[in-house]
Amino acid sequence: MNLPAFKLGTTPSDLLRMILGALVVLNLIAAGLILYPPGGSPEQMQAQLQTLQTQILQRKAQLVRTRSIAGKVDQGRNQGDQFMDQYFLNSANEYSTIVGELVGAAKRASIKAKDHSYITEPIEGSDDLTMMAITGAYEGTYPDLLHFVNEIDRTKRLLIIENLSAQPQQGSAGVLNISIRFDTFVKEKAAPPMQQAGPQQGEVTGVGQ
């Protein structure tokens, strides 16, 4: 605001008019600040404050949900890792360990374990998991076979009976020739080149009681 400049020779009445004019201008400015304060009226500022508080509460709730989801994801990942560590094989070299468990279960069920063979195949979409299919040949009665299946259910490893066939043995009443395919899983940090190139096979013969 530019106030009138005082000049020499100004009369008292002129000076009074200039002072009054300046006061009027200052009053108008003050009234404008009261009626239209910077940032809006008190009602507008109150509404803006409430909107801001609502946004803060929404952001806090979203943060709590995000932390909860992240915690559940971590928990699920840890439980998945524990499950695989407990039930999955660490490498295909543990095939003999699985066969030993199968032979032990057969002995407890009075089943005669004969031959075992296996093949490993990659699982599509996974870089560190492979499936191992174990085929075993056994001899025993039907009640012993049921006992054997129950023993398999109690093993510490994840063994899935994929296929089971039993045929009566000629010349032996009540004795069955049994063939069972078991599926289990192997978790490895890095698969050997031969496993990546194609399936691997192995065989153990003459395993019995």
Instruction: Identify whether residues 153 and 191 lie together within a single domain.
Output: yes
In the chain, the percentage of residues whose pLDDT exceeds 70 is 67
**Residue 197: per-residue pLDDT:** 45
* Lowest-pLDDT choice from 68-72, 178-182, 187-191: 187-191
| 176 Cβ contact partners less than 8 Å away, ≥ 6 residues apart | 139, 140, 141, 142, 145, 166, 167, 168, 169
Instruction: Identify whether residues 97 and 176 lie together within a single domain.
Output: yes
Task: Say yes or no to pLDDT of 192 above 90.
Answer: no
In the chain, the percentage of residues whose pLDDT exceeds 90 is 22
Instruction: Identify whether residues 52 and 119 lie together within a single domain.
Output: no
Neighbours of 151 (CB within 10 A): 18
Contact between 140 and 108 (Cβ < 8 Å): no
CA separation, residue 40 to residues 55, 56, 190 (Å): 20, 21, 65
Instruction: Identify whether residues 194 and 104 lie together within a single domain.
Output: yes
Bridging pattern class, strands 112-122 and 129-140:
antiparallel
pLDDT tens digit string along 77-110?
A: 666 566 666 566 666 567 788 888 899 999 999 9
pLDDT tens digit string along 12-51?
A: 777 777 777 777 777 777 766 666 666 556 677 777 778 8
Bridging pattern class, strands 176-187 and 200-204:
unpaired
**Residue 37: per-residue pLDDT:** 62
Residue ranges making up the domain that contains 71: 40-87
**Residue 39: per-residue pLDDT:** 58
Per the model's pLDDT, the better-predicted residue between 168 and 20 turns out to be 168
Label residues 15-42 b or e (16+ Cβ within 10 Å = b).
eeeeeeeeeeeeeeeeeeeeeeeeeeee
Number of structural domains the chain divides into: 2
Instruction: Identify whether residues 156 and 177 lie together within a single domain.
Output: yes
H helices within 88-141, ranges in order? 95-108
